[in-house]
Amino acid sequence: MPTIPLHISKTLHSTTENPLPPLLLTPSGLAILELQGTIHFPTPSSATTTSPSSDFTSNSSSTQVGKLVFPLYNPKLSDPADTKWMKRVYFYVGKHQRLNGEVKKLGKPFAIIRKRERREDVEMGGMEAVEGEGGLEVQEELEIVEVVRYKIVFSTRPEPVGGEEA
């Protein structure tokens, strides 16, 4: 399959309230977060996870690993020209570690690409089986679901912080 179509379908719209600052918001709600190292978290068990039935878009469970804090960001000051808040983002991981990072404008924005969901799988497959010339595989299709222009990046190692009282 030498040619794979790459569709531009920014049709993915998130209905969920997005807690991130508006600059990081995209129609689909997708954002990019980069950090040095890996986040280790305990193997999922029923105690730490929830399948939120209230949101139909998320049908899988997750583990909460921490919190993102934008200490200089003030939602009441809605001046889009003010970018000072971008310089500082904290990412508290677990109870004792904090990553120090910032929001960066990407020099070259990223397109987020995924394999296209094919609703008429059976029908399409049938068509191609008839049309396809000797051994032509079922066509794969990709789509750009979002273009992301900013990322939250934590490029330093975590620093220890005091535990919470709770």
Partner 1 sequence: MATQQDEGGVPFSIAHDLQQFRLLELPAGILELIDAPNPPALSIKSQAASRASGTPNPKAAYAVLCTPNKTFQLRQVQTSNSVFVTQPRLEGHGNEIPVPTTCAVASCTATLELHPTVESSAPYLKEALPIYDIIDGMVDVAGNGKSKTRILSDVPLSNGECEVGWKELIAFEFAGSSYRPSANTLAQVWKSINAAALAGGTKLDSQFLTEEILKAMDEEGYPSELITAIFRRLAADEQDTNGPWSCLDRTKTVHFVGITLLEAREGEANYLTAEFLNAWKDCVPESWRTDAELSTIKDAYVLPSTMTIAVKGVSASSAKTEDSTPKVGSSSRKWHERFGRARQR
Nearer to partner 1, 49 or 83 (CB): 49
Stretches 79-87, 112-120, 124-132: which one binds partner 1 (CB under 8 A)?
112-120
Using CB under 8 A as the binding rule, whether residue 97 contacts partner 1 is answered as no
As a whole number of angstroms, the distance between CA 88 and CA 98 comes to 12
Report CA torsion sign: 137, 138, 139, 144: negative
How many CB atoms are located within 10 Å of the residue 31 CB? Answer: 17
User: Residue 166 and residue 164: Cα distance in Å, rounded?
Assistant: 5
By CB under 8 A, name the one of 67, 96, 105, 157 that touches partner 1: 67
How long is the chain?
166
Beta carbons of 148 and 34 less than 8 angstroms apart: no
Say whether residue 38 binds partner 1 (CB under 8 A).
Answer: yes
Nearer to partner 1 among residue 58 and residue 83 (C-beta):
58
Q: Binding residues for partner 1, per CB under 8 A?
A: 2-8, 14, 16-20, 28-39, 41, 44, 47-50, 52, 54-55, 57-58, 60-71, 90-92, 108-115, 142, 144-145, 147, 155, 161-162, 164-166
